[in-house]
């Protein structure tokens, strides 16, 4: 991921697509079923990981990584934007606001703890595992009688927190 322009373009396109999903569902008043929420929530982690992997966080010291994560304004802004967008998506699934807040806060804590405790290579592997699970579920969902949340509700970087709170 050395190409910074390609990384920024893919990051901003991903955020725009999530904003489109959130905005369009509000406009047409679409209520997301729980299986779609579990499935879509893996996008939250994928975009956050994409943001992290595009930066230059090769620091081995955990305290320096924590300081860099908390002081990188672009990363904090992207985390806030994604949290707001997924809060809108979760609101469209008729979930209680307190549960939405708990899900988003715990998700961000899980994500940042993986960044702090694991190095960049492990984060990259987790990103690709999450990506292939996301795309595999999408492909298999085209078959009749396939439950879309069969894997995503147990994915710790997907809909596991949503499954635990609903």
Instruction: Give the closest residue to 44 by CA, choosing from 98, 107, 99.
Output: 107
Name the pTM for this structure.
0.81
| Res 1: pLDDT | 45
Give the integer Cα–Cα distance in Å for 108 and 102.
10
pLDDT tens for the chain, residues 1 to 166 = 456 788 788 889 999 999 999 999 889 988 888 778 877 888 888 888 888 877 665 666 778 778 777 888 888 898 899 999 999 988 888 888 898 888 888 888 888 888 888 887 887 888 888 888 888 877 877 777 777 666 666 667 766 666 666 6
């Amino acid at each position: 991921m050395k190409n910074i322009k390609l990384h920024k373009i893919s990051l901003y396109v991903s955020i725009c697509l999530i904003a489109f999903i959130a905005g369009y569902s509000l406009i047409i008043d679409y209520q997301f079923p729980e299986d779609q929420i579990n499935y879509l929530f893996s996008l939250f982690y994928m975009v956050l990981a994409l943001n992290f992997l595009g930066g230059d966080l090769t620091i081995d010291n955990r305290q320096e990584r924590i300081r860099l994560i908390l002081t990188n304004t672009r990363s904090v802004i992207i985390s806030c934007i994604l949290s707001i967008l997924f809060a809108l998506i979760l609101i469209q699934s008729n979930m209680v606001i307190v549960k939405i807040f708990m899900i988003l806060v715990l998700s961000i804590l899980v994500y940042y703890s993986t960044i702090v405790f694991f190095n960049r290579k492990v984060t990259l592997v987790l990103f690709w595992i999450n990506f292939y699970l996301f795309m595999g579920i999408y492909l298999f969902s085209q078959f009749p009688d396939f439950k879309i949340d069969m894997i995503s509700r147990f994915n710790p970087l997907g809909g596991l927190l949503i499954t635990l709170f609903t």
